[in-house]
Amino acid sequence: MGKVAVGAAVVCAAAVCAAAALVVRHRMISSRKWARGLAIVKEFEEKCGTPIGKLRQLADAMDVEMHAGLASEGGSKLSMLISYVDNLPTGDEEGLYYALDLGGTNFRVLRVHLGGKEKGVISQESNEVSIPPELMTGSSEGLFDFIADALAKFVESEPEGFHPPAGRQRELGFTFSFPVKQTSIASGTLIKWTKGFSIEDTVGQDVVGELTKSLEKIGLDMRVAALVNDTIGTLAGGRFYNQDVIAAVILGTGTNAAYVERAHAIPKWHGLLPKSGDMVINMEWGNFRSAHLPLTEYDQSLDAESLNPGEQIFEKLLSGMYLGEIVRRALLKMAEEAEFFGDTVPPKLKKPFILKTPEMSSMHHDTTPDLKVVGNKLRDVLEISNTSLKTRKIVVELCDIVASRGARLAAAGILGILKKLGRDTVKGGEKQKSVIALDGGLFEHYTKFRVCLEDTLKELLGDEAADTVVVELANDGSGIGAALLAASHSQYLGVEES
């Protein structure tokens, strides 16, 4: 019996030792996996690094590319498109103007009543209309007839006392957010459709001419006074309220910038110099590229798999369309190489663009002690349950790395514009104000992104120059801005009403 008891004790001890060894081994493996996960985050953070010196190099590169794009067509990755907008609103504009905003599967018609310096925008009304899917791939005539009919219905609700006198046309600002070769303030040929539209007979045609034909067909006497994009509309809206506005930046699903250039500083402009001496330039800055941009393996794979590889690299680093996707790609690598979410890779995590930037923003702004919002988003969006607090903290850290890089790059871009205009330093004690009008959901709703952008711009400018530069939220450039440009380019400017 004694030998049996001893034998049993030995076997038990061995089993306990083996179990303990398994636990230790499991912990060592877990610890190694966790260390691998942390190493992936650390490497990502380093590759995303935007030290102030690098941001200054990027601002210098933006300035150089701006000069090159103004010198000749195709001379730069920045198109630096001449907008033909040479009169921005002064704030004195009065009267009733219309706007049409076509940029996706819906369009808006707006009516804006302007009251000059004293009253500003007195009132505005708008109506949103869905475009039937068959019209998005039908004929040019079909689409523009549909839009003209909607405009005519909207005009019918014009208040009594606002109808134009006999012989006077209503005037419209047309925001058309598709690639266009602008040929004058109120004409431009469509280069190609995007966003699900595919109407072959519009390509190469003047979109203002197409709309005008449809308006004439139904007897609506309305003149398109300005054809613009949403960035130039934002610039116009900002300038109406504040004459110190010199540039506009859109930070939303996509990103772009426009600014006021001195007409004589545009070598590729061969027309007569405008009376104002100014010309608004649509930079198309989303296509900016530089060896100084902090690209990671996730950015490179995202670009390679996109519909436009090699294009819009700046946009892919900092716009709302892509920030959440970059976070997803980093999380996927951690799941695959470090079992970050357990033994299996969560299937939803493999789905491109499943993690949207608003969800990323919610996680980034989570202030609950146990990061409950992060846990809920991981569960609801990616179907990842039972995450630990330390896992959630890493997710927040990834959001911070991606958002901070994007915000700091946007600040460097703005510094590039200020440099081009000689407004990045204070000269001889003269403190002229420079206001940048910003629009877009990313800037408006992603608080940590906005604060980081503003803080970085101050850091880049230094205290003295930072006091002269203001970043302001300017809403609805594509709507009110277009109506304001119709007013500032009205054929009746300076004509006394009888």
Is 239 a catalytic site residue?
no
pLDDT value at residue 448: 98
Cα distance between residue 303 and residue 316, in whole Å: 8
Is 83 a catalytic site residue?
no
List the catalytic residue out of 86, 108, 303, 392: 108
pTM of the model: 0.88
What angle separates helix 297-304 from helix 323-338, to the nearest 10 degrees?
110
pLDDT value at residue 3: 58
E strands present in 205-276: 222-228, 245-251, 255-262
pLDDT value at residue 480: 87
Cα distance between residue 205 and residue 213, in whole Å: 12
Q: Which residues of the chain have pLDDT under 70?
A: 1-30, 429, 476-477, 494-498
What angle separates helix 52-71 from helix 389-420, to the nearest 10 degrees?
40
In degrees rounded to 5, what are phi and psi of residue 342? 110, -170
Is 108 a catalytic site residue?
yes
List the catalytic residue out of 86, 206, 230, 299: 230
List the catalytic residue out of 177, 361, 478, 488: 177
